[in-house]
Structure 1
Amino acid sequence: MDSDGNQINAHEGWILQIEDTYLWYGTSHKTLTADPATGSSDWLSGSINLFVSRDLASWRRKPAVFSAAGITASTAPAAVAASRRLRAAVKGAGPYRIERPKVLYNSGHRYYVLLFHLDSIDMGLAQLGWAVSPSPYGPFVFQAASQPDGLGSLDLSVAAAGDSADAYLVRSVPGGSLAISKLSPDYLGTQGVCGSLHQHQHQQQPHPAAAAAAAHAAATGMASEDMQGAAAAAGVQGSRVGGTAPSLFAFNGRWYLLVSRGSGWSPGPLQLFVSNGSDPCGASWSPIKHAAAGPGSGSGFDSSPAFALPYRFGGPGRDGAADGCSQSSCLPIYFGDRWNQQGPGSVGNASYVWLPFVPAAGSADPSALQLLNPGGPWKISDYRQPAPSL
């Protein structure tokens, strides 16, 4: 609940720390919405909300920072206008999916950039939306939508690299891989795929990413093999569907990539990968065994990853920074959405789970982390690791 006693709706979100204040961005309450142009329906949010806190416990609601109504005919994605099937939606304000909002500060241009998954209800667009604001409190003004590096963009996350200006985008792409790209200096584009992770689909049912790729191909007239070819040309190989809801974060000089094996609104096991170096571009990724422990670990604690926050014990730092976030100074915290698809109120009554990443039990590898459910209330201070002895 927020400071007024109301339910917090900040789903699939992101926390940005500015000095001693935490800003929690996330999508608003989801309602079952139908698209009259296509007949499709799904759970959609109409805006991106903002809540602020000094302690990660008490949250005060601020005005919404972005509305889907800001995506009008003049700023609608080019792929929409090119699609006869979706042309009716361009004449109005959607309905559009706005999902997985992430916010970064660009010090070179002195503005804040909002990135989010922008799509149609039937997942036929597979694009990334960009909006900017001079203030972290918004409002953010829609700039454009695109398929970064010429690839369909589905679930996404971002991360900043230390005190440099480098920032990265990770997203699921057609063809079944997760692609990593360095953002352009203005954070309003990408500079090509610089890394990827390929996984294998173990489920029998089609994964939502595969359905999205097929829908996009149908909407744009692009054959599925052409979509695969575009992915291969961009440096993303693989033909099997990977995980969903990726979350990229840096800790102790390494990069970590968390994904879910869930499908749609349903939860699934979590998988955690660690890079072989301090740069996600060109890195090799190794899976961490037993990446989750405690009650509910087999189903991802009944949740889907929103993001991971490297919480700093010693004070504020640049969000997602790779530099200075060590085992003794930071605690990575998992933020997940419990979509409640089968529960009362379904997705419209979703909630959250926050859990700590700790050194993996029984592992001699110092880079091995494990997401732990203690089985009850927990305190951040309980998981501060001692500084290594010299």
Structure 2
Amino acid sequence: MSSRLGALAAATALATAVLGLGAPAPAEAAAVAFDNGQTITDTSGNLMHAHGGGMLKVGSTYYLVGEQRNDYLFDQVSMYSSTDLVHWTFENDILSAESDPDLSPANIERPKVIYNAATDKYVLWAHKENGVDYGDAEVAVAVSDTVDGDYEYQGSFRPAGYDSRDMTLFVDTDGTGYLISAADVNYDLNVYRLTDDYLAIDELVYVFDGYHREAPAVFQRGGVYFLVTSGATGWNANQTQYATTTNFPEGAWSGWSNAGNSTTYGSQPTFVTTVQGTAGTSYLYMGDRWGPQWGGKPMDSEYVWLPISFPSSTSMSLTWYSTLNIDAAAGTVQGVVGNDDGSPYSTKFVNAGSGKCIDVPSGSSADGTTLIQYGCWNGAPQAFTFDPVYPGSKVGSIANTATGKCWDVLDQSTASGAPVGQWGCWAGGNQRFSLRAAAGGGYLIVAQHSGLCVSVSGSSAADGAAIVQSTCTGAANQRWTVTVR
């Protein structure tokens, strides 16, 4: 049994301390633990929706902006604040589908905000589509007098006439602003210089021609500029690659080099944050572990944040850590070395209402067998492995250790009351479940294809009561303690 399993056995306390279910940490706190590869809960106890986002520091406060979707369509660009990069407070939905008729319906993706010192304005750019297809390939621009205010929509357009999809913004040390965006249906990356007010395009200044890269993020360290990108494989994670130059943006640029493993630990880059403090400067890779990879939706996505190491002045590397110690005031981001490699581990699931365990009746190996609850014991019918989709994730498949069959919402039903059974493992969305910390303690177990919670039917306390999926309420019959066997 891995040490990660011991960590999950104490998961309720961990979620309270790390994911923000308790009181915010005081501003003067030193290093704070960040639990990696999972969803983030804000200081009000709600899931933080800031995907495809970017970071901006104002004074000692970091502001994170990102996507909040209604299913797959744009709902809001949401903003959160933090002084320690771990405990996040919701500030405002700075742009919404109601902000302008052009935004309903729409897809607004990868929003980034930069500050213009000359105009004293905060400027937002994002990838914009019409909400029906991806034929617009435009950028949208909005502006505000304050970082967390209501941003006034300025419209959308194709930069310099080129199609534009995944994008980021970068402000160089001389105050010049740049847009970097995927063009030519993601085969090129175009670098544009912005006008002095950051509201429009001045000139196309460089093209990475034909590399099929997207999800750009730019940062500068010691006079070396790093452009971090992903391949173009839809929602599915792939190998992050980067290129460098000392002459941004014209180059000469280096070739592309790999960072992280072949899936970048299940994530796609969205931003690199510079964390500068009294003890030095660290660089924090920020990636999205997109929910549709495992049958979920964009709002099921998890966050992968990793410290960047630099073997040389022109090279970078990413290593997986399940926990980071972040001291924002000191400017240090350190990975905690552990054994969390995402391997399966053995557990049982105890219901908070009945005190009974999920059980494969009679240890049957038959496909379609409906799971039940039964008095807890250490037999094989109650022994399961949770296999995370990627290291650190609380989304994965759950299989019985004796039968090898996976939990399965039978017939791929999305109906409340549908039975949860077992079936041969095939990695479908109806066999992917997420463990979400429950306000009443323990976990909700959420079927990724339906968004419904694994429950004891009828809140029964009886042996043999069926395990079903039902609308998530957080009631006792939906709360489960994950217990190490």
Q: 1:343 aligns with which of 286, 294, 298?
A: 294
Q: Determine if contact 1:248/1:307 at 8 Å carries over to the other structure.
A: yes
Corresponding residue of 2:285: 334
Amino acid at match of 2:205: C
Give the superposition deviation at 1:382: 5.8
1:46 is paired with a residue whose SS is strand
Corresponding residue of 2:461: none
Q: 1:45 aligns with which of 59, 74, 78?
A: 74
Give the superposition deviation at 1:336: 0.7
Structure 2 residues not aligned, in runs of 5+: 1-40, 327-331, 336-485
2:204 is equivalent to residue 253 of structure 1: no
2:241 is equivalent to residue 271 of structure 1: yes
Equivalent runs, 1:207-356 vs 2, <5 Å:
242-275=212-245, 277-280=246-249, 282-287=250-255, 289-292=257-260, 297-314=261-278, 329-343=280-294, 345-356=296-307
Structure 1 residues not aligned, in runs of 5+: 33-42, 77-92, 201-241, 315-327, 385-390
Q: Determine if contact 2:141/2:199 at 8 Å carries over to the other structure.
A: yes
Q: 1:168 aligns with which of 153, 173, 178?
A: 178
2:305 is paired with a residue whose SS is strand
2:125 is equivalent to residue 115 of structure 1: yes
Q: Which runs of 4+ in 1 moved over 4 A?
A: none
Amino acid at match of 2:60: D
Q: Determine if contact 2:224/2:313 at 8 Å carries over to the other structure.
A: no
Amino acid at match of 1:352: Y
Q: 1:68 aligns with which of 94, 97, 100?
A: 97
Distance 2:276 2:256 in 1: 23
C-alpha deviations, 1:38-77, integer Å up to 9, x for none? Answer: xxxxx123111111111101111112111122232xxx4x
Corresponding residue of 1:94: 104
Using the size of structure 2 for normalisation, the TM-score is 0.57
Give the superposition deviation at 1:257: 0.7
Amino acid at match of 1:245: A
Superposition RMSD on alpha carbons, in Å? 1.8
2:20 is equivalent to residue 9 of structure 1: no
Distance 1:182 1:329 in 2: 30
Corresponding residue of 2:28: none
C-alpha deviations, 1:71-98, integer Å up to 9, x for none? Answer: 32xxx4xxxxxxxxxxxxxxxx531111
Distance 1:270 1:146 in 2: 29
Corresponding residue of 2:70: 31
Distance 1:105 1:382 in 2: 25
Amino acid at match of 1:358: S
Q: Determine if contact 1:271/1:287 at 8 Å carries over to the other structure.
A: no
Q: Determine if contact 2:74/2:105 at 8 Å carries over to the other structure.
A: no
Q: 1:22 aligns with which of 62, 80, 97?
A: 62
Corresponding residue of 2:308: 357
Q: 2:83 aligns with which of 24, 34, 54?
A: 54
Distance 2:333 2:178 in 1: 31
Q: Determine if contact 1:305/1:336 at 8 Å carries over to the other structure.
A: yes
Higher strand share: 2
Distance 1:346 1:135 in 2: 32
Distance 1:139 1:338 in 2: 28
C-alpha deviations, 1:181-240, integer Å up to 9, x for none? Answer: 11100101111111122344xxxxxxxxxxxxxxxxxxxxxxxxxxxxxxxxxxxxxxxx
Corresponding residue of 1:144: 155
Using the size of structure 1 for normalisation, the TM-score is 0.70
Aligned residues: 288
2:254 is paired with a residue whose SS is strand
2:317 is equivalent to residue 370 of structure 1: yes
Q: Determine if contact 1:308/1:332 at 8 Å carries over to the other structure.
A: yes
2:163 is equivalent to residue 156 of structure 1: no
Give the superposition deviation at 1:329: 3.4
Q: Determine if contact 1:3/1:58 at 8 Å carries over to the other structure.
A: yes
Q: Determine if contact 1:334/1:357 at 8 Å carries over to the other structure.
A: yes
Corresponding residue of 2:343: none
Corresponding residue of 1:129: 140
Distance 2:56 2:150 in 1: 16
Q: Determine if contact 2:222/2:313 at 8 Å carries over to the other structure.
A: no
Amino acid at match of 2:316: L
In structure 2, the CA distance between the partners of 1:382 and 1:351, relative to structure 1 (3 Å rule), is closer
Give the superposition deviation at 1:2: 0.6
1:185 is paired with a residue whose SS is coil
Give the superposition deviation at 1:251: 1.4
Distance 1:188 1:344 in 2: 38
Identity of aligned residues (%): 27
Moved more, 191-200 or 247-256: 191-200
Corresponding residue of 2:474: none
Q: Determine if contact 1:311/1:331 at 8 Å carries over to the other structure.
A: yes
Q: Determine if contact 2:239/2:259 at 8 Å carries over to the other structure.
A: no
1:341 is paired with a residue whose SS is helix
